[in-house]
Amino acid sequence: MASEKIQTVTDNSFEQTIKSATPTLVDFWAEWCMPCKRIGPTVDALATEYAGKLTVAKMNVDENPEVPMRLGIRGLPTLMVFKDGSLVDQVVGAVDKETLKKMVDRHI
């Protein structure tokens, strides 16, 4: 289903994953979220297209509630870009691929 280029992050591994000079796109999702399922193939495609330039990770918010609560995530899917451990961009909802690419390109 998900590309092998996508990391699965948890509440415990989140901080380590985002502390990188390479931008990290984190897709916060849930199994019951239909828009999350619609945007999944787009996130998979970005992981392949930006391999080596962007780390792509997914976090299931039902299994890992601490980080989403701390970040104030209220809608799904929420996609956030982190660089050197800091949040630098985000978008909420099942946006199109071009919107995601523009967001990522600003930070590569």
> What pLDDT is attached to residue 26?
98
Residue of 18, 26, 33, 61 marked catalytic: 33
> What pLDDT is attached to residue 2?
56
Domain count, the chain: 1
pLDDT digits (tens, 9 = 90+) for 8-55: 999 999 999 999 989 999 999 999 999 999 999 999 999 999 999 999
As a whole number of angstroms, the distance between CA 57 and CA 4 comes to 11
Residue of 9, 26, 36, 39 marked catalytic: 36
Is 4 annotated as catalytic?
no
Q: CATH number, domain at 98?
A: 3.40.30.10
As a whole number of angstroms, the distance between CA 50 and CA 76 comes to 23
Residue 1 lies in a domain: no
Is 33 annotated as catalytic?
yes
Q: Is the preceding omega at residue 65 within 30 degrees of 0, hence cis? A: no
